[in-house]
Amino acid sequence: MPCFLHHCHLQINDSHPDYAAMVMGNFMIGGGFLNSRLATRIRQKEGLSYGVGSWFQASSQDDSGNFGAYAIYAPENRDKVQKAFQEEIAKVKTQGFTKEELDAARSGWIQGQVVNRAQDRALLGKLGNNLRLDRDMMWDKALEEKIMKLTADDINKVMAKYLDHTKMVYVKAGDFEKAFKEVKP
């Protein structure tokens, strides 16, 4: 099963004014898995991928963040998966997200935060990281409050600012030679 990765570097940290919007934008693009744009289009609608999603990470200590996405697919779907991904990122930049998408995503994201705080391993990791950064759980509360105040327009502006599918690095791994020899036009 080939894997497809898309990646772009961003000059952003987790205290940046755009951070909360990037968190929610990523959640709607592919971080929310089955309820995301990438999963809906590439996995559910077109059936091109066994799994697809995205991530967004930003450093707590410097302006170093990244956005990336992945897809696991049959080799013969390689070009279709990349085309669908690029089209979805372009739609995010040009059409943006709707209020309804944001409301659903925000609810899912908040529920995920509650679940994470109820899991010993996740909570221990959070508390340890907070100690290292001289933070407490009020930092998380402030982030949740920022996310609750975001509008779709806030997120759309930030996504348009940072995401450009033409500047992303695309990495494909798999046995494509064999797959394309077996596919007859």
Interval 47-53 mean pLDDT: 91
CATH number for position 161? 3.30.830.10
pLDDT in the model for residue 67? 92
Domain that holds residue 28: 3-182
Q: Are 152 and 21 in contact (CB under 8 A)?
A: no
Q: What is the DSSP letter of 49?
A: -
pLDDT of 184 > 80? The answer is: no
Lookup result for tokens 């559910």: 44
Spell 15-47 as b/e; 16+ CB within 10 A means b: ebebbbbbbbbbbbbbbbeeebbbbebbbeeee
How many domains are there within the chain? 1
With residue 57 as reference, give the H or E element that holds it.
strand 51-58
pLDDT of 180 > 70? The answer is: no
Q: 148: which residues sit within 8 A by CB, 6+ positions away?
A: 106, 110
pLDDT tens digits along 83-111: 999 999 999 999 999 999 999 999 999 99
pLDDT tens digits along 8-38: 788 999 999 999 999 999 999 999 867 899 9
